[in-house]
Chains A and B, each alone.
Chain A
């Protein structure tokens, strides 16, 4: 048994034809321990969702390996491993858009009972009904009778997202990949949804890979877990949440944290902003050489940062950073 429930090893994913290839994810590695929450934070287009889909094997990595309970998911010849099914049901996904993630032609009961009956997780239709009711209660949709015969279009965005959560729970997954699961839900019900996800972690011991662009949500949801900051196709910093929020080491993470508005306008006005050299996100078609952040980095060192790509290095206890400058400051050589 390995240390991690699920582990990504050097995941690379490219898209496109032979002539024009775009790298969406480049050399991403991380592990999630059983019962842990790992947040993947980054701006649009940095490869968060692609990483999430590779973790759930909805996308096949171009190279690299996903390990579930220490065993590889893909065989060397590119086929699915023999115990793929355990993994398949063990890792579920919650999509971002509640308006697209439920089949409009099925009732809520059908959506939730189909996986139960298909995988024979229940012995009879009667038992399926009991279990569906139980699931709807778990995600806080009540009174249950009101929802069973409804179609998704009759539900609000928040309610739909709860159904999505319930659907993911039907097969008793060990790990849930929540891909921006609360981003498209109204702010007023976002906390409710986050609390439900947290409760599942406590009561069922669900492990999360929580993908978000919102640092505040990451901080709230994964305070006891870890945060991985992604910037243009790879992870630049990976640390426990308090460490990352309070003492981020990578310039990009610092810039990201500084951009979060504070509730106090006085505080916001006097907040130290990191002056980036450029506001433009590089095109995925022409990735910068060396460190991907160097065209924007305020600590850019010519001849080093634009030539050599920094590795994700352990700088402090459980704190990985991919930055030459930060590594030198921490006294780690050769980064």
Chain B
């Protein structure tokens, strides 16, 4: 402790940088305290890598292939044969594929109605969804916190007005409204869509944050901070906010999940002109195949399962997040 005072700024920065790996390690350790939460975290990271790094490795499925329409993924037996040829007999992978072996080895999850690789579509179609979910989660959480905190701190008419507005807002069925709004507003970029989705989902988070701040600002330790004259900034960000962090983190994750559902819903209905994403895949699979052919099961199930698994990972991850931000759970 005494050494810290004599350090130059550069040394301090170096020390801070050296602490980063330790910080990450500590974060992982805290995350792994809850097994379900950690599993969710791993799946989440997997999806993030799949949709950010994945497109660099997996080429996009652009051209249709008439010979490979609705090719199913390899069965376990076919994989075994392929593995035997490739690894134990030492045959080049390209040679196996050219020799007319099952097409399935080229297509991890099979192909769609045009013979395009489904896995490639999953890899390239997730980024939009993830980015939009993150953006919507951030915006709606930010708006919810700002309005909720202001409402609780200012009180009076401002508070009454916003509360009534939120109550009315919550009674409006939001998805139909969203569908109607989506036809009115030109949703050609992600930010617009994220803004629209956050605009629709502000009320729930606003009401709960407001209630939290109302309760927290009357706590004795906040009063003690006022008596110690620690300043409004400190009181909000150091006394009140940390005690809401687990709640905010969970709201954020739920904001993400509802944004995904809303967006996929819009895309499925064909109201948002976004190409290459999971929602579009479901739409195509539904309209071009799933109603007619049982072979298209992989085409429709791949995006559905991706979305479901991603949602599940977020919900699971929020369990770990709750533990991280709650010191009582953190240190047991």
Chain B nearest Cβ from A68, distance in angstroms:
13
The contact string, 1 if C-beta is below 8 Å from chain B, for chain A 164-203, is 1001101100000000000000000000000000000000
- The listed residue (A106, A125, A154, A170) touching B228 by CB distance below 8 A is A170
Measured between alpha carbons, how far is A263 from B257 in the docked complex, in Å? Answer: 65
A105–B227 contact, CB under 8 A? Answer: no
A93–B227 contact, CB under 8 A? Answer: yes
Chain B nearest Cβ from A108, distance in angstroms:
12
Asked if A89 lies at the interface with its beta carbon under 8 angstroms from chain B, I say: yes
A101–B224 contact, CB under 8 A? Answer: yes
Set of chain B residues within 8 Å of A95, measured between Cβ atoms = 220, 223-224
Asked if B46 lies at the interface with its beta carbon under 8 angstroms from chain A, I say: no
Asked if A140 lies at the interface with its beta carbon under 8 angstroms from chain B, I say: no
- Flag the segment in B75-83, B206-214, B238-246, B272-280 that touches A: B238-246
Closest to B1 in A: A129
A93–B328 contact, CB under 8 A? Answer: no
Asked if A70 lies at the interface with its beta carbon under 8 angstroms from chain B, I say: no
**Total cross-chain contacts (CB, 8 A):** 77
Chain B nearest Cβ from A178, distance in angstroms:
13
The contact string, 1 if C-beta is below 8 Å from chain B, for chain A 87-118, is 01101110111001111111000000011001
Measured between alpha carbons, how far is A91 from B231 in the docked complex, in Å? Answer: 16
Chain B nearest Cβ from A39, distance in angstroms:
20
Asked if B106 lies at the interface with its beta carbon under 8 angstroms from chain A, I say: no
Asked if B229 lies at the interface with its beta carbon under 8 angstroms from chain A, I say: yes
Measured between alpha carbons, how far is A168 from B4 in the docked complex, in Å? Answer: 26
Chain B nearest Cβ from A106, distance in angstroms:
8
Chain B nearest Cβ from A117, distance in angstroms:
10
Asked if A44 lies at the interface with its beta carbon under 8 angstroms from chain B, I say: no
Chain A nearest Cβ from B282, distance in angstroms:
42
A125–B4 contact, CB under 8 A? Answer: yes
Give the number of chain A interface residues (Cβ < 8 Å): 35
Asked if A56 lies at the interface with its beta carbon under 8 angstroms from chain B, I say: yes
Set of chain A residues within 8 Å of B327, measured between Cβ atoms = 104-105, 151, 153
Chain A nearest Cβ from B12, distance in angstroms:
11
Given the known inter-chain contacts A95-B223, A100-B220, A153-B328, please indicate yes or no for A119 contacting B229, CB distance below 8 A: yes
Closest to B325 in A: A105
- The listed residue (B1, B224, B229, B239) touching A125 by CB distance below 8 A is B1
A92–B221 contact, CB under 8 A? Answer: no
Measured between alpha carbons, how far is A266 from B154 in the docked complex, in Å? Answer: 59
Set of chain A residues within 8 Å of B221, measured between Cβ atoms = 100-103
Asked if B183 lies at the interface with its beta carbon under 8 angstroms from chain A, I say: no
Measured between alpha carbons, how far is A198 from B224 in the docked complex, in Å? Answer: 21
Chain A nearest Cβ from B153, distance in angstroms:
16
A115–B4 contact, CB under 8 A? Answer: no
B229–A85 contact, CB under 8 A? Answer: yes
- The listed residue (B223, B230, B245) touching A114 by CB distance below 8 A is B230
Measured between alpha carbons, how far is A173 from B292 in the docked complex, in Å? Answer: 81
B5–A126 contact, CB under 8 A? Answer: yes
Other 18 A-B pairs with CB < 8 A, given A88-B227, A103-B221, A118-B229? A58-B226, A58-B227, A91-B227, A93-B224, A101-B220, A101-B221, A101-B224, A102-B221, A103-B243, A104-B243, A118-B234, A126-B1, A126-B2, A129-B1, A151-B328, A153-B331, A154-B331, A167-B228
List, sorted by A's number, 13 A–B pairs whose CB atoms are closer than 8 Å: A58-B227, A92-B228, A93-B227, A105-B242, A114-B238, A118-B228, A118-B234, A124-B4, A129-B2, A151-B328, A153-B328, A153-B331, A164-B224
